[in-house]
């Protein structure tokens, strides 16, 4: 992790070591590639509209809206977190994964079986995502790969325990993050969206696309 946008504010200052297998690829998608991918995701959203998930048990709504593409999609409702083959509102199967995302996966995760889900999270200016692990999958051998489009986010990366040190990183439009190896189960989240940072999406919107292999 040698990107100059790493910011050691507060808890992350001094002594932080990123988990093995964490990679930040700044500017992996240039502006034209970002626009092309955004157009593909907009087509996904037409077929599988964004919905607001709620927390298990409490039914408290998330601050992000989401949808999915691929054979499976991640959902959250009062009964729990899970993957399922159909949109929870429309009941229709999720749209296919765009070829751009499949190509990215095959380039960054050679040898891994193809992803089965791409979770699409839409962040408005006030949206957040608390520290969490991606562990609803049966297969942890494949990495999680995420792509940022739109407004810059302050991404918090920790270790594999909740009490491990964390560090804040700026994720700009076109950046790609890989969580593989030990970092596959690293705690991570989004602290905030930086106002005025998006030239791709209006009103400081941000899309995060997360590719995952679900079954072993």
Domain ranges for the chain, please list them: 6-52+97-212
Q: Which percentage of the chain shows pLDDT scores above 90?
A: 91
**How does 110-147 read in b/e, with b if 16+ C-beta sit within 10 Å?**
eebeebbbbbbbbbeeebebeeebbeebeebebbbbbb
Residue 216: its pLDDT value, please?
A: 85
- How far separated are the first and last CA of the chain, in Å rounded? 29
Q: What is the mean pLDDT of residues 178-200?
A: 97
Residue 22 CB-half CA count within 13 A? 21
pLDDT: is 139 or 35 the higher one? 35
Confidence label for 118 from pLDDT (cuts 50, 70 and 90): very high
What's the mean pLDDT when you consider all of the chain?
93
CATH dotted code for 6-52+97-212: 2.60.120.590
On the question of pLDDT at 23 being above 90, the answer is yes
Place of tokens 């560090």: 167
Average pLDDT estimate for 168-177? 98
């Amino acid at each position: 992790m040698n990107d100059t946008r790493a910011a050691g504010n507060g808890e992350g200052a001094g002594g932080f070591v990123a988990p093995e297998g964490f990679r930040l690829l700044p500017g992996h998608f240039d502006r034209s590639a970002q626009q092309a991918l955004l157009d593909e995701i907009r087509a996904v959203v037409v077929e599988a509209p964004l919905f607001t998930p709620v927390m298990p048990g409490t039914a408290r709504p998330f601050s992000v809206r989401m949808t999915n593409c691929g054979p499976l999609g991640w959902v959250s409702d009062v009964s729990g977190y899970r993957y399922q083959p159909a949109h929870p509102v429309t009941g229709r199967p999720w749209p296919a994964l765009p070829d751009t995302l499949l190509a990215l996966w095959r380039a960054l995760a050679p040898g891994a079986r193809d992803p089965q889900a791409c979770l699409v999270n839409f962040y408005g200016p006030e949206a957040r995502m608390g520290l969490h692990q991606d562990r609803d999958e049966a297969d942890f051998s494949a990495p999680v790969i995420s792509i940022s489009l739109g407004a810059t986010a302050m991404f918090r990366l920790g270790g594999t325990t909740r009490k491990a040190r964390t560090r804040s990183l700026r994720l700009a439009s076109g950046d790609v993050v890989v969580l593989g190896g030990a970092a596959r189960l690293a705690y991570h989240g989004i602290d905030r969206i930086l106002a005025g940072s998006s030239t791709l999406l209006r009103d400081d919107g941000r899309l995060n696309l997360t590719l995952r292999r679900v079954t072993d």
